Amino acid sequence: MLKKINIGILVFLIGCSSASLFGQNSSSSPYSMFGVGDIANNGFGRNLGMGGVSTPLISNNNLNPSNPASYIGIMPYSFIFELGLSGNNYTLKTPNGSTSKFDGNIRYIAVGFPLTKWWKAGVGLRPITDIGYNIQQEYNLQLDTNRLVNAYKGEGGVNSFYFDNSFVLMKSLSVGLKSAFVFGSIDRTSSVTSYNRTSTNVLTVEDRKIFRAFSFGLGTHFHKAINDKFFLNIGATYNLKTNLATDYERLVTSTTNKVNGTFTDTLSNGVVKQGDMVLPQSYGLGTSIIFKQKLELAFDYQFENWSKSDFFGELQNFKDNQRFSVGLEFTPEYNSIKYFRAVRYRVGFNKTNSYLMINNQQLRQIGGSMGFGFPLRSGSQINVAVSYTERSISGDNRLSENYFQFHLNFSLQANWFYRSKFE
């Protein structure tokens, strides 16, 4: 009974946390103004230090919600709580110069726990996409004294409150089921401001999309010792297409500022459309080799079928999103009494062909990362990672973006549901 009550409390607390996580902007990129925004890396602390590799990884110290079959690594009577924070320093370069911005916030919160010897589970809240941009363009008209300013602002994204389950099929094989409530909103505002000698006129269009749906996915994980030196991991995932039930609202206003006062007219206000925004089906495949419990080399491939995605029944000009990742983790001596020999050292690299098409060119992205897993008592860890990413399109006017991301992850482990026996 106590076990059921404690799990219920955890689910409630994570649900309440959505109030603070939902709506936080984790992007300052102008590329997030397209589609559903920037696709978030769904890895946790260990994954991010290894270049974003996720599908094949399994651990008894760290959660990996990218593959719902991976929870089988959680030890009996063990409870894992994870909290992730990130800071991003963006630099945008154009032919006219460059600009920088820093932002940061909570990225995810999650727990993992055993239900039986053959059934493990996890609950968490994390982003799927991020939107955050603020752009202004100014024009001086040659034919008169007017000056025009176009402004574009956006925020929001897609979030997932998920419940994962892992089941042991046989000693070396587990399967997983992911179920999630997907929700969020996208707010985009555009305005045109005209300045002249006697007045200022502003035409503002505010678009808001509110969406929600249930989504489902599958995962499998194979793990087996090849011999006394090598251990093999193979992981695979598949996520079904998700139809987000969406309300599309629009408010259009016109405001005039004159010497004798300010006058505002509402030109339009109401629901423009009701329908579906489709998040595409996706799959992942990865493998890793562990040598003498010291060195793990992992490779991961992720595919998202965005070319078949549609918004309100209309196909978008999207490409399939493909991500290649490779990562390495080295632990000099797993159970060493010398602290820095027990630290886990990580490095990784990734390359992404984005789903976004800009000026008929596919946005491309490359990045690298390095990280550390600092052990604490009782199997807990503090994971730190730093990653660098560059993405760009080429054309008559080159627009490129690079950013450093700083990741801090707390993976706290404790024994729960353990009943002591006294003689």
Mean pLDDT score, 338-353:
94
* CA distance linking residue 292 with residue 283, whole number of Å: 30
Q: Tell me whether residue 187 is in a domain.
A: yes
Cβ atoms of 255 and 204 closer than 8 Å: yes
Q: What is the pTM of this model?
A: 0.85
Of residues 234 and 272, more confidently modeled: 234
| CA distance to 198, 279, 308, 336, 419, per residue, from 315 (Å) | 45, 12, 7, 56, 57
- Position 96 confidence tier, pLDDT thresholds 50, 70, 90: confident
State which residues form the domain around 211: 2-40+52-78+106-327+352-362
Q: Classify residue 341 by its DSSP letter.
A: H
Total domains, the chain = 1
- pLDDT, the chain, mean: 86
Model pLDDT, residue 407: 94
- Residue 206 confidence (pLDDT) above 90: yes
Residue the block writes with tokens 């897993």:
373
pLDDT at 408 over 50: yes
**Residue 35, domain member (yes or no):** yes
What pLDDT, on a 0 to 100 scale, did the predictor assign at position 144?
59
Torsion of CA 55, 354, 239, 388, to 10 degrees: 30
Residue 283 is classified by DSSP as E
What are 238's two structure tokens?
């598949």
Residue 419 located in a structural domain:
no
In whole angstroms, what is the distance from residue 281 CA to residue 321 CA? 11
Nearest to 274 by CA among 313, 303, 316, 307: 313
Computed on alpha carbons and rounded to an integer, the radius of gyration of the chain in Å comes to 24
Residue range 127-167, pLDDT digits in tens: 999 898 888 888 776 665 578 888 999 999 999 999 999 99
Does the structure show a pLDDT above 70 at 63?
yes
Q: What is the DSSP letter of 127?
A: E
Distance separating alpha carbons of residues 354 and 362, to the nearest angstrom? 7
Q: In 158-307, which ranges are continuous DSSP H helix?
A: none
Q: In whole angstroms, what separates CA 256 from the centre of its chain?
A: 41
